[in-house]
Amino acid sequence: MEGLIIGLIVVIVLLIVVISNIKVVPQAYVYVVERFGAFHAAWGTGLHVTVPFIDRVAKKVSIKEQVVDFKPQSVITKDNVTMQIDTVVFFQITNAMQFTYGVERPISAIENLTATTLRNIVGDMDLEATLTSRDFINTNITKILDEATDRWGIKVQRVELKNILPPAEIRDAMEKQMKADRERREKVIQAEAEKKSQILVAEGERESKILRAQAEKEAKILEADAVKQQKILEAQGEAQAIEMVQQAIADSLVKLNQANPNEQVIQLKSLEAFAKAADGKATKIIIPSEIQGLAGLATGIKEVITDMSKQ
């Protein structure tokens, strides 16, 4: 009976030992296995069995990308300005064996390496360049850290400057400068707006003057055209009147010739012409030799009138 119990105990112990030496490696992990204290293998995802009392899992390494936020580091710029800069490092373990045996406390090593690299880069830059060159600093730190940590089985994906904190007096000066710049830009914008407004007003006045001048010019042209048309009409009226008078005279002469006037009628017409000439402004009147005294003139008129009445 005692032997049975001892045998059962031995079986249970053996089962426990076997079960305890069955290892299941989860996804995104690598187990570093040592045999007799030396590196034996790096197990990937799956089921593995260790040799009892010979093999042991020295380290369980996550191969997922990891993020480490380091505390602010004190750095001095080229122009002797002390500032605090904290960084964020994104890295991934690519070789579990090198990561396990390459460096003691690898995260602390990365932190110190980041701090020293950051001091070297910022030490060659002035304050303004440091504040405006984040991409440059990030790229250079990433390159240097990646080369330095490669032998530790670590791949540095990127490094970001999380915060850059200059001294309080520098921040106050920067804020005042920014405020002055904003005020200056505001004044420039207002001046440009006022300038554009004045230009628009001047252009409006100029166009208004041009339009008024054009209107006055057109009015004068219309007025001149009206005067011209009036004078043309007056001249045409006078020409038509003269033409009508001349036509009437011509018609009267034609009728007179058709009537075959005698000597007395001719003398009467001469007398009428003489009367018209005498009514004019001429200071000298030449009396035709055919008119022989007032008595003969009166007698001739009487006879003419008599003959015209008979006709």
pLDDT score at 308? 52
Query: Does 173 map to a domain?
Result: no
159 and 239 inside one domain: no
Q: Look at residues 218, 237, 259 and tell me which one is the last residue of a structural domain.
A: 259
91 and 149 inside one domain: yes
Q: Look at residues 8, 30, 63 and tell me which one is the last residue of a structural domain.
A: 63
Query: Does 5 map to a domain?
Result: no
Query: Does 171 map to a domain?
Result: no
Phi-psi region of 153 (alpha: psi -120 to 50; beta: other; left: phi over 0): left
Residue 209 structural domain: 189-259
136 and 103 inside one domain: yes
pLDDT score at 1? 66
111 and 159 inside one domain: yes
- What is the average pLDDT score of the chain? 81
pLDDT score at 172? 81
Per the structure, how many domains does the chain have? 4
50 and 79 inside one domain: no
Instruction: State pLDDT tens for residues 217-270.
Output: 888 888 888 888 888 888 888 888 888 877 877 777 667 666 665 565 555 566
229 and 288 inside one domain: no
222 and 274 inside one domain: no
203-207, 267-271, 285-289: which has the minimum mean pLDDT? 285-289
Is residue 114 a contact partner of residue 87, using CB atoms and an 8 Å limit? Answer: yes
